[in-house]
Structure 1
Amino acid sequence: MIGVRGSGENPTQIGAANKNTLEQNLGPEVTDVVARLKDAQGSNNVQVEAVPYPASTVQDLAWDGTKKELARIALKGPKAVVGKLPIPESARNGAELLKASLESACAGQPIVLSGYSQGALVIRLALDGLKDRPDILNRIKGIALVADPTNALIGPSLPDDLEILTKRICTATDPVCNTFNVGFAQTALACWKDPNGAACPHTQYKPNGTKEAADFLNFMLELPSGPLQFPSSPQLGGNNPLGSLQ
């Protein structure tokens, strides 16, 4: 499993006695996903790697070429900037590190990915950059994106063949992943003033959201092994056994 932490999250470790540096830099949300997945799969059956990218804070990102765009969102609503928010340098850095990790992962080993907030954007950027590498993408068995910044506002979509393997977890009032919710202005302001406060839904994904992510990845790992055959544009529902996952 490769995990990517969110904006402004400090490096953490899983368990005080665990000195494996590959399990640092996960952030609290992805740390919880990993811990739950290990409980389900068995600790020795899950090798964990983190992407040690800067994970710049939301406030820093606002000065990293996005301040004017963020101000326009506040004044005119998110529709004013659809497709116009620049990719933060922090996320680009993380995407390059994640691509390198995927390219060097042990051959034949199934891979699952989970990212929170900016970390979800990092995953999308990295996989978009690897869309011509089926040797890597075909090994990915599941992707859990928690509080993923709205696709329409920033960054590329996932390659089509990976959408069917992806679970997005986003609460209805989260201003980051559900930018078009009715209370966007109020929740966005609350998160800007106090990102870790109870009034900010973006930081309230433990334990329910992280459990949902871990359960999904565990389910995907339990599916029969072997290559899956995807149509060019996956159709959900009908006789598709994965249709109910979206």
Structure 2
Amino acid sequence: MAAKAKSKDRDFLNHLETYLSKRDGVDKLLKISRYATKIVLASSLIPETKPIVPRLKSFESSVGVSRKAFRLGKFVQDINALRSSRWDSNRDLVLILIAYGGEGLYYFVEQFIWLAKSGLIDAKHSKWLQKISAWAELVGYVGSVSMKVRDLRKLREEETCVASTIEISGSRGIACDGEDEKMKKIKEKKTLKVLSIMQDLADGLMTVSDIGDGKGVLSAPSVVSSAGLFSAIVSTHKNWVSC
């Protein structure tokens, strides 16, 4: 309770400074900028003949390359996540390996894609590196969504148990402030978990588009750009709340 109250009373600029001091904070703001720009370009709000259009395309491309630089060494967090993971069954172990293994490989390969786009590595390697990266990312999302659905199921079971306790206590005229607070926290966790699943699905949609070279209805620029912007907003919210 005290920590939550402290978060609410926290000075906005101090909070913003903390947020921007983290690589994920800056990365998600760049992601919002990139996909907001892509939406503008995809919507044809600005005629192609306008001189601002090439500038927006250049900006979008530059931001995309900049974001890859923020992923340098990020695969280490997945290695540490694997090291610290605990599991109750072989199924849980498989999901953990798929989620963190796929994401870790994705971040590892992204470093070389950045080097290729930056000119240090021959650009001819970019295409097959991007394919490996996209497939690894998709595998990671499959594992991540599966784990989060499992966690969501556990939260619902916990919610049902707490609701039953509150109902029984109410029928007996017993105060249950502690259980009410617990229920509130469970609901908040459920909301964040659902948002996180939706974010993974949105990112997964973009990954499928990359694998399919932008072909298909779901790979339309407006659809992919909207999915990217939604994912960026959800990520920004989660990072803001956690810092």
Compute the TM-score of the two structures, normalised by the length of structure 1: 0.25
**Whose strand fraction is larger, Structure 1's or Structure 2's?**
1
Rg (Cα) greater in structure: 2
